[in-house]
Amino acid sequence: MANRSTRRSFLQSAAAAGTATAAAVFTIVRPSAVRGAEANSKIELGIVGQGGRGRWIADLFAQHGGYKITALADYFPQVAQAAGQGLGVDKARCFSGLLGYKRMIEAKVDAVALETPPCVFPEHATAAVEAGCHVYVAKPVACDVPGCLAIAAAGKKATEKKRVFLVDFQTRTDPFWIEAVKRVRRGDIDQVAMICSHYHDEGFPDPPLGKTIEGRLRGLIWVNDVAIGASYLVNAGIHAIDAALWLAGDVAPLSATGCSRRMRRDPHGDSHDTFSVTYELPGGTILSHRGEHIHNVNGFACGCVAYGQSGFMEANYEGKAFVRGGKQPYKGGDVAGLYGEGAKRNIALFHKNITDGVVDNPTAASGANSTLTTILGRDAALAGAKLTWDEMMKANRKLPVDESGLTQ
């Protein structure tokens, strides 16, 4: 319960204190840093998006020691300037507006990280790679199919240009998760019949809509809006679904069926917050996911259970990770502080890959696949019908965002 309260308190304070922007967090790295850096050199970092998590992760980058934050951007000028003052960034290098990310790239920082509403990730990641930048991006990587395809393409382009592209999923960094997943994938519990994943937490404020979407860009309000924040399932449930797909070998599902509803009090955004989705994976494996985001004191819980023919594996975002039965049981251990520790490990890996010139960028493809899987589940649940992967990809539906009235 202490772990649950800690994470819930962080999410609530981030929502209250920050403003998520319509720009992205970028870490941009000099070409000279691609194939190795001098021992005492630092990667110059520009960060777009200084809301709750953006400001928090900026501190983690600063604490690493291998980065120097030299530029910032946020849609809201006062937020960009306040963050710059706190991080010691020159006022002239604190940019704002929808195009702040472009001005930051033009300011010649070294690398890029994205921490904003996911609707802008594809545009910003593509621009960063084209400009010769390394990219660090949060999940989900997009809100729609075209956006996911753009992220996958940007990851491939980054590899071609010998740049690093990393999607920040925390579960894949944890030693207990890594060992448990490895054992399942090598067949220790024999064939997996079903994987059950879950994500429960409280939701975010959802005030009345305004004349423009500017008010939706503050305090994680955007999670309530499908076109801006992708929905609660895609934005939060993706933690558990990504882990389930990792267990299954990062396959693409064949189809999804499900149902969902809005149960938060006085909702204004169109995102559903309560859902149950069943996926059919290649080979017949069933993936069943459930979740809710209601202020009902249930608290935070996220994890997966894989049921095999001779044993089962269970792992949690906060809690136990282990394998029971099967060919070789695994005692595992307690997963604790994963939200912060996972981000720290990814920040360290991002730095190491840049300095060592490791540009295979596997998380671009897996991050796009996990996002597409949650979009498939979201759309199937909204339709209350079976939706196949091929149908979703053929439709290639883009979710437009109305940026009228916003500051450029």
CATH code 3.30.360.10 for 171-338+361-395: yes
Strands 286-292, 192-200: parallel, antiparallel or unpaired by DSSP? parallel
> Burial, 396: exposed, middle or buried (Cβ in 10 Å; 0-12, 13-18, 19+)?
exposed
What is the C-alpha to C-alpha distance for residues 341 and 347, in angstroms, rounded to an integer? 10
Alpha helices (H) in 231-337, listed in sequence order: 232, 238-247
- pLDDT score, position 92: 97
Q: What does the mean pLDDT of the chain come to?
A: 91
Q: What percent of the chain has pLDDT over 70?
A: 90
Residues of the chain with CATH 3.30.360.10: 171-338+361-395
pLDDT of residue 320 exceeding 70, the answer is yes
Structural tokens at position 161: 């240009």
Residue appearing with tokens 């600063």: 62
- What's the confidence (pLDDT) of residue 12? 46
Residue 37 has pLDDT above 80, yes or no: no
Structure tokens at 222: 């955007």
2-167: in CATH 3.40.50.1820: no
CATH 3.40.50.720 residue ranges for the chain: 2-167
| pLDDT for residue 36 is more than 90 | no
Give yes or no for a cis peptide into 140 (omega within 30° of 0).
yes
Residue 305 has pLDDT above 60, yes or no: yes
> What is the band of 5 on the pLDDT scale with cuts at 50, 70, 90?
very low
Q: What's the pLDDT tens digit per position in 67-89?
A: 999 999 999 999 999 999 999 99
Note the residue count of the chain: 408
pLDDT band at 41 (very low <50, low <70, confident <90, very high): confident
Looking at residue 26, what is its pLDDT?
36
How far is CA 246 from each of CA 322, 344, 378, 389, rounded to the nearest angstrom? 16, 20, 19, 18
Give the DSSP letter of residue 141: -
* Per-residue pLDDT, 402: 97
- Of the candidate ranges 10-19, 262-271, 380-389, the one whose mean pLDDT is the lowest: 10-19
Residue 18: predicted pLDDT? 42
Above 80 in pLDDT, residue 264? yes
Cα 356 → chain centroid: 25
The rounded distance, in Å, linking the Cα atoms of 303 and 32 is 41
Count of beta carbons in the 10 Å neighbourhood of residue 36: 12
Nearest-angstrom CA–CA distance, 114 and 283: 35
Residue 144 confidence (pLDDT) above 60: yes
CB 185 within 8 A of CB 197: no
| Amino acid letter for position 47 | I
CA torsion, points 389, 394, 396, 397, in degrees to nearest 10? -90
Burial category of 147 from C-beta neighbours within 10 Å (exposed 0-12, middle 13-18, buried 19 and up): buried
